[in-house]
Amino acid sequence: MRTIIIACCGLLLCVAKAGAQVPDTTQRADTSQRGDTLSYDDAAEVAYLYNLPAALRATRDLTIPASQTVEGDLSVLEASLTVAGHVTGRVVVINGDVTLTPGARIDGELVVTGGEVRGADSARVGGALKLYRPVMMYRMEGDRVVAVHDESRSVANWFRRWKRRHERSMSRIKLKGGTYNRVEGMPVLFGPSIRSNNALGPLHVEALGIYRSADGFAWKADNLGYTANAEMQFGYGRGVAVGVDAFDVVQAVEPWQLRDSEIGLASFFLRRDYRDYYNRKGWRGYLALREGSSLSLTLGYGKERWQPRAARDPFTLFRNSADWRANPTMDAGRFELVDATLSYDTRNNVDNPWTGWLIVANVEHGWSPEVVLGPAAPVARPDASSPTSLDYTRGFLDARRYNRISPQSQLNLRLVFGGWLGGDALPLQRRFSLGGAGSLPGYDFRDVTSGEDVLTCSDGAAIPGSPAQCERVALLQAEYRGNLRFHLFGGAGAEGWNWSFYHPLQWVVFADAGRGWLLHERESDGTLGKTSAFPSLDTFKSDIGIGLDAEVLGIFIAKSLTDAGNPINFSVRLRHRF
Amino acid sequence: MRRLPLIAFLLLLLSTPLAAQRDARLEIKLPSASEVTRRSPEVSAQNVLGDRRLEELLHSGFPARLHFKLELWSADGVFDALKSEAEWDVIVRYNPLERRYSAVRIVQEHAAPLGTYASSDSVQAAVARPYRPSIRLPSGNGRHYYIVMLDVEMLSVNDIDEVERWLRGELSPAVRGERSAGTALSRGAKTLVTRLLGGRSQHYEARTRVFRGRE
């Protein structure tokens, strides 16, 4: 029995001794505290500990050598601490790193915010180790540190909401201006807009009245209109949407060539309006399948009344005494329309794409029992002195591919193809033209070229406003862009090189080729005959050009290749050409 | 019309301020060759808020948003391919009550405070500290390069209003229908003035050299 007791005592002693030999890290592990959060209470406690009388304070990087002993507490603010020696008290480091070399010794606790602790396993910390990784927010009152509330979470919450501000529920009165043009002047849109997010998806309702500035904001029917939309989407991001539009608006023909902002500025400043317009009044319902913002398919049906609009004389900043180009008289009638639009967008950046696709394809079938045809060239469509019925199908494709071919250059391509697909001749509202900054900048807008007119298909007929009359159009645009290297700041270095600038300035070399055509052409004997589906390539018009593009603004010069006598054209674009 | 090219050229020059900002630069630094497939590059933005107008706007209470976007491109094919990307924001704000600047880095849903500072120089130094974003790293032996873009913008009157309301704990968004159209017009005018005074965005880009995944 005595032997057993002695053996047990011996075992206990061994265990006790072994326990005494366990490194301090084991003991510290029980009391250590490491966190990715730092509450205000934690910060206040750290500030309190920092403000206690200390044997040594530092606001610069500090090293305690192996031979040194700090008798008491040690506090460090916004600096790093290296301990090789001995601190008999507590160590508090606010927003700095701590390095403990082997053999270092801290008798009290170690409290660190906004930094890391290295070497704790090979050193000895008598008290608890409290490590808060977030940077501590504080202000100084004399020598005292005062913790302040951390607004980062609130700011982060606000920022997340701010980024999604267009996607959240809201109701507001909207007041905005439309595109300045020679038919309306400045259309001012005003009315309520509501978006409500619910369990099924977002509901959007908007009803805007339109008041036009032409004729000095005169209160008359020509200056009034409206546009309203109600849409319910089932699902967020991916989903199915159903909606209905009601409208009485001035609609642009061929909006695909130039952006609204370019049209508005050219009209307001230079009295040059590069679009034609007609009035569109009616309603349209649609069903849309959407996959985020990259893919959508929209099917629509509507009834509309189209009417021609005349150009008026809105104010412009320059050339105010010059005449506006007449707005061509468009076809008039009540139409029923069925359409399908596919949109596919994989661009890495909408404003400044370097890679990806943008494809928009549309097919429209329209019919009307009675249409008053606007003036057109005899070759463009059969004469009709009295109203006639129309039943047509039209397609349109705008496909763009953006390619980065090196870190500082890209090759971009655009193909536009559109036109008649079946039925009767297209109404003027659905016809095409080329020429001008948005398509063939080497040719003037609505330029009636010598010989066969393959840009507006006018066949030489002089019609006020020179309307677009082509029934089909094909256009290929290519451009090579290179960054202009401004080594303004930085430069070559061992790890590579880098540069920076305020606006990415690029040089651009481009080429365009295209033409429009009718499905009939005048034979040598003066009669009309059917044309082939696709004209010979040697009849296409082409141009080349160069430019400087600062992303928000670009200047370009272009020269026709196929008509050597055409002068060099100069154009200014807002954002990239396409 | 003959003067139009000259006017446009001047506009182009105006839209490309070349050296208006003292020592402002965006830098990206590759890790060592042995670590290039294991660590992302370091990104730092020096003095991007150093412009006097930006400093004045910041000091007047307009928050600054620094939006970073890092892209990893492959340079192996005929066309370079975008392999991965990472985005983050830094919000810098001046609190006139406490007379201190604060900065917060926001990466997806996570917000990391960068500290509060008494001076503009101090907060700029905090913003300029190198940051190593989380991005899918290059693999294999292919040729790659990184491009980093930074857009600096001063948030508008509306945005500040929303900040204040949010910080006051109001759950409703700031833009509400109960406000009069006159108020909306007034806010719009203030925003326009803000933009004209220099509250516009500034863009920076930097890139690394082309490197191989295994060098």
Q: Which of residues 21-80 of B touch A (CB under 8 A)?
A: 21, 23-30, 65, 71, 73, 75, 78-80
Question: Do residues A534 and A514 make contact, with C-beta atoms less than 8 angstroms apart?
Answer: no
| Average pLDDT of the segment spanning A503-522 | 87
Whether the per-residue pLDDT at A183 is higher than 90: the answer is: yes
Question: Do residues B135 and B85 make contact, with C-beta atoms less than 8 angstroms apart?
Answer: yes
Whether the per-residue pLDDT at B155 is higher than 90: the answer is: no
Candidate ranges A126-140, A241-255, A526-540; pick with highest mean pLDDT: A241-255
Q: How far apart are CA A518 and CA A457, in angstroms?
A: 7
The shortest CB-CB distance from A495 to any of B8, B30, B159 is to: B30
Candidate ranges A182-186, B30-34, B199-203; pick with highest mean pLDDT: A182-186
Q: Read off the tokens for A498.
A: 């880098």
Alpha-carbon gap: A277 to the closest alpha carbon of chain B (Å): 26
pLDDT band at A485 (very low <50, low <70, confident <90, very high): low
pLDDT at position A35 = 67
CA distances from A216 to A117, A186, A198, A211, A213 (A): 73, 10, 44, 11, 6
ipTM of the complex, rounded to two decimals: 0.73
Question: Do residues A234 and A201 make contact, with C-beta atoms less than 8 angstroms apart?
Answer: yes
Q: How far apart are CA B120 and CA B11, in angstroms?
A: 32
pTM: 0.75
Residue B24: helix, strand or coil by DSSP? coil
**Of A107, A108, A115, A110, the residue nearest A92 (C-alpha):** A110
Question: Do residues A366 and A224 make contact, with C-beta atoms less than 8 angstroms apart?
Answer: no
* DSSP label at residue A460: T
Alpha helices in B128-180 (DSSP H): 157-167
Hey, which residues does A481 pair with through a beta bridge? Answer: A410, A508
pLDDT at position B213 = 76
Q: Which of residues 116-175 of B touch A (CB under 8 A)?
A: 116, 118, 145, 147, 155, 159, 162-163, 166-167, 173, 175
Q: Is the dihedral of CA A150, A151, A157, A160 positive or negative?
A: negative
- The β-bridge relationship of strands A81-83 and A98-100 is parallel
pLDDT band at A287 (very low <50, low <70, confident <90, very high): very high
Q: How far apart are CA B196 and CA A261, in angstroms?
A: 19
- Name chain A contacts of B176, Cβ cutoff 8 Å: 170-172
pLDDT band at A137 (very low <50, low <70, confident <90, very high): confident
Question: Do residues A233 and A290 make contact, with C-beta atoms less than 8 angstroms apart?
Answer: yes
Alpha helices in B21-114 (DSSP H): 52-59
CB neighbour list of residue B59: distance below 8 Å, 6 or more residues apart = B94, B120
Lowest mean pLDDT among A267-281, B112-126, B184-198: B184-198
Q: How far apart are CA A355 and CA A348, in angstroms?
A: 6
Question: Do residues A374 and A331 make contact, with C-beta atoms less than 8 angstroms apart?
Answer: yes
Whether the per-residue pLDDT at A421 is higher than 90: the answer is: yes
**Of A180, A181, A205, the residue nearest A191 (C-alpha):** A205
* DSSP label at residue B34: G
| Average pLDDT of the segment spanning A285-290 | 98
Q: pLDDT tens digit string along B73-97?
A: 999 988 999 999 999 999 998 888 7
Q: How far apart are CA B136 and CA B150, in angstroms?
A: 19
Higher pLDDT, A531 or A171: A171
Q: How far apart are CA A206 and CA A246, in angstroms?
A: 10
Distance from the Cα of residue A83 to its chain's centroid = 52
CA distances from A17 to A7, A13, A25, A123, A137 (A): 15, 6, 17, 20, 45
Q: Which of residues 93-122 of B touch A (CB under 8 A)?
A: 93, 95, 98, 100, 102, 104, 106, 109-116, 118
**Of B67, B50, B42, B32, the residue nearest B155 (C-alpha):** B67
| Average pLDDT of the segment spanning A332-342 | 98
Question: Do residues B112 and B105 make contact, with C-beta atoms less than 8 angstroms apart?
Answer: yes
Q: Please state, as a whole number, how many other Cβ atoms lie within 10 Å of the Cβ of residue B62.
A: 24
The shortest CB-CB distance from A159 to any of B18, B91, B202 is to: B91
Question: Do residues A248 and A212 make contact, with C-beta atoms less than 8 angstroms apart?
Answer: no
Q: How far apart are CA A130 and CA A41, in angstroms?
A: 14
B192 touches chain A (CB under 8 A): no
| Average pLDDT of the segment spanning A438-461 | 87
Residue A211: helix, strand or coil by DSSP? strand
Alpha-carbon gap: A453 to the closest alpha carbon of chain B (Å): 27
Question: Do residues B26 and A500 make contact, with C-beta atoms less than 8 angstroms apart?
Answer: yes
Whether the per-residue pLDDT at A466 is higher than 90: the answer is: yes
Residue B80: helix, strand or coil by DSSP? strand
pLDDT at position B6 = 57
Hey, which residues does A496 pair with through a beta bridge? Answer: A493
Q: How far apart are CA A111 and CA A122, in angstroms?
A: 17
Q: Read off the tokens for A270.
A: 């230079």
Distance from the Cα of residue A519 to its chain's centroid = 39
Span between the terminal Cα atoms of chain B, in Å: 57
pLDDT at position B12 = 53
B5 CB-contact burial (10 Å; exposed 0-12 / middle 13-18 / buried 19+)? middle
* DSSP label at residue A526: S
Q: How far apart are CA A347 and CA A349, in angstroms?
A: 5
